[in-house]
Amino acid sequence: MKLAAFCCGLLLLGGGARAQEVAPDSVPSPDEFISLFSSYCLEKFPDDAAVFSAASDARLKVLSADEAKLFIRSKSGGQGWLIQGKGGRYVLTEELPPYHACTIRHAVLTPFSTESFNAAADRFVAAKGNRLVEGSATQRPMGDGVASAMSYRNEVNAKGVPTGEIFMFAVVGYPGPVTADDTQSKPFWEIRFSRVILRNAT
C-alpha cells in the first residue's frame, strides 16, 4: 500500500483533523470498537447481503468508490461505510471473495491492547465449538516513519483442523506531522480488526 493511500485513509478516519484531534488525549476504551465489530463482522458476516442490509438500516455513510479503494484491496471489490461513533470515526469495509473479509478501522492517539479483541473473538468461536490458535506476526517499516504490526489467529475445530477463518489485528503507527508553526504534533495509530474467510474454507 502506498504511503499516500495511508495518509488519505487516516484523513477520512480523522475527518481531516490534525493528529491531536484524531482521538481524545485520555486512554480510549475499545468497547465501542468491539461492539461495532461484533454487530457487523461477527453477527452478520460472511453473509454479504446481511452486512449491506445492516449498514443500510443504520444509515451509515457509504464511501465513494475512490474512498473505498483506500481500504479495499480485493480485486473482486466490496464496499465501505463511515461510522460516526461516540469515540470518533470508524470505517467498516466488506471485501468480496476470494479475499472475503470484514474489517473495522479506527484512528487513536493511544493504541489499543489486543486483549479485549482476542477475548471477543475467543468467545465467538468457542460458541461454535472451535478455538483460536496463534498464527504469524509481522512488523515492518513502511517509510517516512510509518510502521505496521500485524498478528493473526487461526480458527480450528475440536480436532485441531483449520476451519479457514482468520482473525487479524493490525496497528499502523504514524509520526505526528509538522504543523504550520514548525512544531511536531503527536503521533497517532490506525487500529484495524478483521475477520477473514479463506476461499478454500470448508
Enter the C-alpha cell of residue 184.
Answer: 511536531
User: CA quadruple 145, 33, 13, 53: dihedral positive or negative?
Assistant: positive
* C-alpha 191, offset from chain centre: 6
Please check whether residue 143 lies inside any domain of the structure.
yes
Please check whether residue 202 lies inside any domain of the structure.
no
5, 68 Cβ separation under 8 angstroms: no
Question: Residue 114's domain spans which residues?
Answer: 3-197
Please check whether residue 52 lies inside any domain of the structure.
yes
Please check whether residue 86 lies inside any domain of the structure.
yes
pLDDT in tens, 124-140: 999 999 999 999 999 88
What is the reported pLDDT for 12? Answer: 58
pLDDT in tens, 59-89: 999 999 888 888 887 777 899 999 988 888 8
Confidence of residue 183 (pLDDT cuts 50, 70, 90): confident
Q: What spatial distance separates the first Cα and last Cα of the chain, rounded to whole Å?
A: 30
Q: What is the pTM of this model?
A: 0.84
Q: Total domain count for the chain? A: 1
The listed range with the strongest mean pLDDT (27-31, 93-97, 119-123) is 119-123
AA letter at 63: L
126, 153 Cβ separation under 8 angstroms: no
